Amino acid sequence: MAHSAGRSGLPQAVPATAAEAAPEDRAPLGADPAKRRRILEAAVRTFGQRGFHEARIAEIAAAAKVAEGTVYLYFRNKEDLLGVVFDESMDDVLAKGRAIARSKGPAGERLTDLVHLHLEFIGSDRDLASVFQIELRRSARLVERFSRSKLVEYFRLLGGVLRDGIANGEFRRDLEPRLAVRILFGASDEILSEWLLSGEKRPSANAKQLVGTLLEGFGAKDISTAARRRRKPQ
């Protein structure tokens, strides 16, 4: 997921514009959903393998097996295509994320499931990962336009589960949710970026390993207990 932080350290919501209208509003009369889907899938492959700036609409059309002019019936330009790829992918992720956050399981399990959703979403498709981890970040304007409002909701889902865990005693009382969200997202993002650049088949860590490490800390239990005893006033 692309990431851009405002002064608060978290992405800030930006107002919607006409250029960010819902995909349904952009579809031409008599549109063919299957053809539109082929164009979007071809765009992901082309952007991921060629790079957004190097990719051409003609290449995307050829990969989708449609005429170049057909692409323009569904999308205004290459940037519009990239925006729809991001928006529709994130809409699916956020729908799943809301269901996880609303579920009745322990906060630790829900947190692990949300992080798994992030890692699995990006880590299951190398071309899509390249679009999210590299191509969207090459332009501050693209990040500003496409990523902020969607990421704000993802961060709010993480933060809500963290606050649940603090309230029910599952997590430490002095845990700062905003800081914890940054740590979780930053660690996931780094794992995905390293996987993408390394060429490995799968990311180096899964959600259970990541969340478990962050919740338990780095210290062995006996070492941590001894350290607490040393700090205890005599």
Tell me the CATH number at 104: 1.10.357.10
Domain that holds residue 69: 27-75
Same domain, 96 and 41: no
For residue 228, is it within any domain? Answer: no
Same domain, 83 and 131: yes
Torsion of CA 220, 221, 226, 229, to 10 degrees: 140
pLDDT at 7 over 90: no
Q: For residue 15, what are its two tokens? A: 């107002």
For residue 227, is it within any domain? Answer: no
Q: For residue 219, what are its two tokens? A: 């210290």
Same domain, 214 and 99: yes
C-alpha–C-alpha distance, residues 16 and 150, integer Å: 11
Give, for 221, the enclosing helix (H) or strand (E). Answer: helix 221-231
Burial of residue 11 (number of CB atoms within 10 Å: 0-12, 13-18, 19+): buried
C-alpha–C-alpha distance, residues 184 and 209, integer Å: 12
If one counts the domains in the chain, the total is: 2
3-state secondary structure of 11: coil
Same domain, 198 and 121: yes
Same domain, 163 and 179: yes
Least confident of 55-59, 106-110, 148-152, 207-211: 148-152
pLDDT at 29 (0 to 100): 58
Same domain, 157 and 59: no
Same domain, 33 and 91: no
> Model pTM?
0.79
For residue 193, is it within any domain? Answer: yes
User: Mean pLDDT, to the nearest integer, of 102-112?
Assistant: 96
Q: What is the CATH number of the domain that holds 68?
A: 1.10.10.60
Place of tokens 């332009």: 139
Contact 215, 162 (CB under 8 A): no
Same domain, 147 and 36: no
pLDDT at 4 (0 to 100): 44
Same domain, 208 and 107: yes
Q: For residue 88, what are its two tokens? A: 């529709």
Same domain, 53 and 143: no
> Nearest 5 degrees, angle CA 21-CA 188-CA 151?
20
Query: Helices in 23-77 by DSSP H: which ranges?
Result: 23-26, 33-50, 57-64, 68-74
pLDDT at 51 over 70: yes
Same domain, 61 and 136: no
